[in-house]
Amino acid sequence: MGQEIADSHFTDHDFQHFSQCLRKETALLESWFQQHRLAAESSIGGFELEAWLVDIDGLPAPINQVYLESLRHPLVVPELSVFNVELNTPERPLRGDVLRRMEADLAELWKYCAAKARAFNATLAMIGILPTVREQELTLDSMSRWERYRALNEQVLRLRRGQPLRLDIRGGEALCTEHSDVMLEAATTSFQIHLQVKASEAAAFFNAALMLSAPMVAATANSPFLFGRQLWQETRIPLFEQAVAVGGDIAGDAPVYRRVTFGSGYLQSSLLELFQENLAHYPPLLPHCHDTAPEDLHHLRLHNGTIWRWNRPLIGFGRDGTPHVRIEHRVVPAGPSIADSIANAALFYGLVHALADVPAWPALSFAQSRANFYAAAKDGLRAEVLWRDAKVSLRQLLLTELLPLAKQGLATLAIAEADIAYYLGIIEARIGSEQTGSRWQQAFVDRHGRDMQALTLAYLECQRSGLPVHEWALP
């Protein structure tokens, strides 16, 4: 959940003081790594689900402020636009029947939120990009009433010297447009999977998360349309990157240091390297200085929250105040269903544990992992990627090699055998049929024409059924 700030206007002194605090806190975090002060508990999972508020006609409903005031739930918070909210559920140790418990947590919260939405003649939708959202709705008038978001917009435009943000996505069709603020980002909603790990093992887990980003984004794709155009299988990826395209390094325009990025390389030994990179290469966007103890890491965590790596390091604190490290896997879109979401989390947890636990895993260069990721976002399961020094289709790779690895990884965590079979069975059926959320949406348009409102209403009907997407029929 994002930290709120008190003001959206900053002085040169604010930037200088914030940078001083950031240097102190980064040095303190380095000492914690060296002194092994970070929590040793590992394999604790959780997630954040970003959702759309939608009216009875399938159109974005700009009601998140009154809706959240009515809801009054500490685990449901605003997002960038008045059309969106974020749902959080408790983190749980990854063992036993945890997957079923995670599904029950999310289903209970979703049911409660959906019931509250009905009082406003609205509903909730989990989908990467809402097909009915229009560019003219993504303006500052639709920004949530948080100072954090207004400051973010002002600072992004300051770093861009007032130049508009340019969207240029070429896939099945092309979309080129310019936008005067960061609100295009609000069109992207995701299912962000968290994993707490031991600091000593975090580099291996982070590198594994990078390698598996391509198969994860292909298997979970759910964002083929934007403003009526059919673009990538997961259009959310280029949209988010271009919607907050701040130009690179402090010392120059280095593409690997864009604010939304796949990253600059594998870690060599420690997750600390990413926080040192934050300090060295990313100018502060929200220099909100806070009179807290350095041990709270307020400035370090706020700064890290303005750097949107597709796999992001996090520092958290347990109930007893002990700091810990987490990896946030951000490549997965929201939806299509609750069952699909938990299956996606199961796939990630199984794969990342299997890959991190195999030190002799065949080398895949960082450049290859990055190229695989964008190929997968563009072409989905039909993408060809480099794996074990050979070109393979992602669909075949997942079915023959990665799903068995995911099963192995979940088994090492002592996840209930029946749950492994059920949730990874959902993934296997989805891949086998090639019916991801994106493919279902495209098939609907192929059959019924490009009516984004009809598509959205049909999608919502299927979502309410609770069935995983591979079981959705076309009307």
pLDDT at residue 48 in the model:
97
Query: How much is the average pLDDT of 274-278?
Result: 97
Chain segment 90-116, per-residue pLDDT in tens: 999 999 999 999 999 999 999 999 999
* pLDDT tens string 168-198: 999 999 999 999 999 999 999 999 999 999 9
Residue 98 and residue 104: Cα distance in Å, rounded? Answer: 10
1 — pLDDT class (breaks 50, 70, 90): very low
- The pLDDT, as a whole number, for residue 322 is 95
Q: Please give the pLDDT value at position 250.
A: 44
What is the tally of helices (H) and strands (E) in the chain?
Answer: 16, 16
For 4-8, 32-36, 125-129, 244-248, which range has the lowest pLDDT when averaged over its residues?
A: 4-8
CA distances from 296 to 101, 162, 192, 447 (A): 31, 34, 24, 55
Sign of the torsion formed by the C-alpha atoms of 7, 12, 18 and 22: positive
CA dihedral 128, 134, 140, 142 (to 10 degrees): -70
pLDDT, residue 251, reads 44
pLDDT digits (tens, 9 = 90+) for 342-368: 999 999 999 999 999 875 455 789 999
Distance CA 318, CA 332 (A): 26
CA 414 – CA 232 distance, rounded (Å):
37
154, 208 contact by CB (below 8 A): no
d(CA 114, CA 120): 10
Neighbouring CB atoms inside 10 A of 386's CB total 17
Check whether 252 has a pLDDT greater than 70: no
Rounded CA-CA distance 63/74 in Å is 18
Mean pLDDT of 403-418: 97
Which pLDDT belongs to residue 6?
55
CA angle 190, 193, 197 (to 5 degrees): 155
190 and 223 Cβ atoms separated by less than 8 Å: no
CB environment 181-191: b (16+ within 10 A), e (fewer):
bbbbbbbbbbb
Q: What predicted TM-score, i.e. pTM, was given to this entire model? A: 0.96
pLDDT score, position 161: 86
Q: Which domains does the chain have, with CATH numbers?
A: 12-468 (3.30.590.20)
Mean pLDDT of the 405-423 span: 98
* pLDDT confidence of residue 8: 58
Q: Are 381 and 462 in contact (CB under 8 A)?
A: no
DSSP assignments along 256-273, one per residue: GG-SEES-SS--SS-THH
pLDDT greater at residue 161 or residue 345: 345
Q: What is the pLDDT of residue 249?
A: 47
